[in-house]
Amino acid sequence: MSSLVEHFGIAVRQLREQRGWSQEHLAALSDLNRSYVGEIERGRVIVSIVTVQKLAVALQLEPASLLARGEQVASVRRAHRDALAAIGG
């Protein structure tokens, strides 16, 4: 799966965990199946824009902010990878 999908899933998991919520709780708030939320968090599914909207509403964010969070995860991971490469190279 693409890194964009993976980073979006990581962002959803981080936001859920910051709130102290279980996957079940987020699923209930977003009207999604718990196992589907797990698949999203593991980066195994490509979500629709409707699902992004449902998750954003549940997390009390704008959809664009939720998507931007995925980009932030990607940026941090790139910086970390580059720093490790600099140390090892």
Alpha-carbon distance 73 to 24, whole Å? 23
Q: Angle at the Cα of 42 (from 38 to 48), degrees rounded to 5?
A: 75
Structure tokens given for 70: 């995925």
Look at the domain 3-88 and name its fold.
434 Repressor (Amino-terminal Domain) (1.10.260)
Tokens, residue 76: 């941090």
pLDDT digits (tens, 9 = 90+) for 13-54: 999 999 999 999 999 999 999 999 999 999 999 999 999 999
The pLDDT of residue 80 is 72
> Is the pLDDT reported for residue 76 higher than 60?
yes
Domain ranges of the chain: 3-88
